[in-house]
Amino acid sequence: MRVAPLARPTLAAVLAVAALVGTPRAAAAFCRTTTCRPEKDPENCKKDTNGCSTKGNPLIWPTSCVSFAMDKGLTRFLPPELTIGPLANAFASWQEAICPDGKKPSIAFVMPKEPVSCSEPQANTNGPNVNIVFFRDDFWPYRGIDGTLASTTVTYDTDGTIWDADLAINAASNPLTTSTTNVKYDLESIVLHEVGHFIGLNHSDNGEAVMYSSYSPGSVSRKLQADDLKALCTVYPSTRAATCNPTPRGGQATSCEATSTGSSSGCALSSEPVAAGTTGGPSLFALGSVATLGLGMLLRPRRRHRRAAPSSHR
């Protein structure tokens, strides 16, 4: 179920994902991020007993395949050969999951063939875009418990359609590791959680879920749990009517410096509808088999709390 090298055109279709049937409690635990943001509008954006927003439009990618790129600089704290695999694995785990109908979810990921240089969240309403995964090696701009480990910025339309998502990893404050021994802050575990936000999921109150709000330093959590699969397969069922269009709105950008006009920076962005562009970006190749995909405004660092102390938020 993991993908190893990035360059593989298809992922090994393994999947031994266990049954998705959780307990009734677990089944109800997952939450979707919506266009109604309690932190911005606590009066109107109410939550249910699971902590899920009950207002607003749930976020979702409209296409069945979403592109993402890794900033070519990666991080100076880990060698590239140990960094790319965990990042790819994290995306592949969501993509290669098997839903209760025996099929994969209707969302897959592809990567641009061209290298991308971008280390800021950006969502450009007037030009090409890139869904970027990047490390912050020297400075982590988010304060407080939110975003201690990572931050995912999702940009969407008012109907909940996601059109850009950027994932920042905090290498400045945390010693990231990739081995299953001597674990400090496991890179794949952290990114696996963030990819859940990337596709529109919010935190779950199920303590076993990858989408639970915190990570215990020293732990490894690289496998989606029943609650995560329930979320994934509910939002992106194999039967969803979605086509594969991985080209970002406005075209595929190969840098963010040149496309920062009108962008968000990890905070709310009042998005304006923009015509879907196809300004000849670089072609994309499949990271894995393709499945399905949509856009809105926002995002923010998300956090997690996990059972034991100490915990770190992400």
246-131-123-119 Cα dihedral, nearest 10 degrees: -150
Closer CB to Zn ion, 113 or 307, in the complex: 307
Closer CB to Zn ion, 249 or 304, in the complex: 304
Token couple for 9: 């055109």
Residues in CB range of 8: below 8 A, 6 or more apart: 287
Shortest Cβ distance from residue 85 to Zn ion (Å)? 22
Shortest Cβ distance from residue 170 to Zn ion (Å)? 12
Amino acid at 123: A
Closer CB to Zn ion, 191 or 253, in the complex: 191
Interface residues with Zn ion (CB under 5 A) are: 302, 304
CA dist., res. 273 & res. 268, Å (int): 15
Shortest Cβ distance from residue 162 to Zn ion (Å)? 16
Q: List the one residue out of 134, 162, 107 whose CA is nearest residue 297.
A: 162
Residue 146: Cβ-neighbour burial (10 angstroms; 0-12, 13-18, 19+): middle
Shortest Cβ distance from residue 289 to Zn ion (Å)? 27
Shortest Cβ distance from residue 230 to Zn ion (Å)? 17
The CB density around residue 179, as the number of other CB atoms within 10 Å, is 11
Instruction: State which residue has the least CB distance to Zn ion.
Output: 302
Shortest Cβ distance from residue 306 to Zn ion (Å)? 11
Token couple for 223: 């496998």
Residues in a beta bridge with 120 = none
Ramachandran assignment for 189, one of left (phi > 0), alpha (psi -120 to 50 degrees), beta (any other):
alpha
Strands 69-70 and 132-136: parallel
Closer CB to Zn ion, 193 or 230, in the complex: 193
Closer CB to Zn ion, 60 or 154, in the complex: 154
Closer CB to Zn ion, 137 or 146, in the complex: 146
Residue 108: Cβ-neighbour burial (10 angstroms; 0-12, 13-18, 19+): buried
Closer CB to Zn ion, 116 or 156, in the complex: 156
Shortest Cβ distance from residue 166 to Zn ion (Å)? 14
